[in-house]
Structure 1
Amino acid sequence: MQVTRYADARPYEAPEHYDMRCLRLQGKEATQTDRIWIGLSHLLPGGRTSLKDAAVEKIYIVVGGEVTIETPTESVTLGFLDSCRLAPGEARALVNRTNAPASILLAMPT
């Protein structure tokens, strides 16, 4: 068993993430995982990412506040425990359009 305590989770830098703090909870340098890694991102009010795609699917779960996820064709605002899947190659941007911080989990293949 490999445990990551939130207090010990290490930050990581994600390109084109603005006013966000990203923490690695599982996988990559945090723990030995075979297929996925899990990150937790805290978005300040106005925090956002650029509209970019990835070669792998991504799953997002909002665990605090509200986060708007935009694709080239649609926009949806997710609240507490709402989730979405983005297909490989599907561009997305995350935006916190509220005046309160928001937090979102990310799960994706290694």
Structure 2
Amino acid sequence: MNVTRFNEAPEYLPAHHYQMRCVRLQGHEAGPADALWMGVSTIEPGGHTSLAASPLEKHYVVLRGEVVVSTGDHETTLYRYDSCRLAPGETRALRNDSAEVAMILLAMPVAGSTP
């Protein structure tokens, strides 16, 4: 068993993430993972990511507040406990348009893992 206490989760600094704090809960710096890793991003009001694609699928769950997810062609607002999946290669941008801090859970495959 690998336990990561939220207040001890290692921070990481992904490119093109603005006014955000990102920590890993499992995988990478937070411990071993064979198939997926998980992290939490805290997004300040006005915080956002650039519109970009990843070769790996992504799963998001909003834990607090609201987060706008844009694919460039479509945009939707996710509220507490709403989730979405982004396909490999699908562009996405996240944005917090509200006046409150938002928190979102991310789960992604570990690069090179097989389903």
**TM-score normalised by the shorter chain: which range applies?**
over 0.9
Q: Secondary structure at the match of 2:60?
A: strand
Aligned identity (percent) is: 52
Q: For this pair of structures, how many residues does the alignment match? A: 110
Q: Secondary structure at the match of 2:80?
A: coil
Listed one character per residue, the Cα deviations across residues 11-31 of structure 1 (whole Å, up to 9, x for unaligned) are 100100000000010001111
Tell me if structure 1 keeps the 8 A contact 2:22–2:42.
Answer: yes
Provide structure 1 residue ranges, at least 5 long, that are not aligned to the other structure: none
Q: Secondary structure at the match of 1:108?
A: strand
The corresponding residue for 1:64 is 64
The corresponding residue for 2:2 is 2
The corresponding residue for 1:40 is 40
The corresponding residue for 1:92 is 92
The corresponding residue for 1:21 is 21
**Is 1:11 matched up with 2:11?**
yes
4+ long deviations beyond 2 Å: none
TM-score by length of 2: 0.95
TM-score by length of 1: 0.99
Provide structure 2 residue ranges, at least 5 long, that are not aligned to the other structure: 111-115
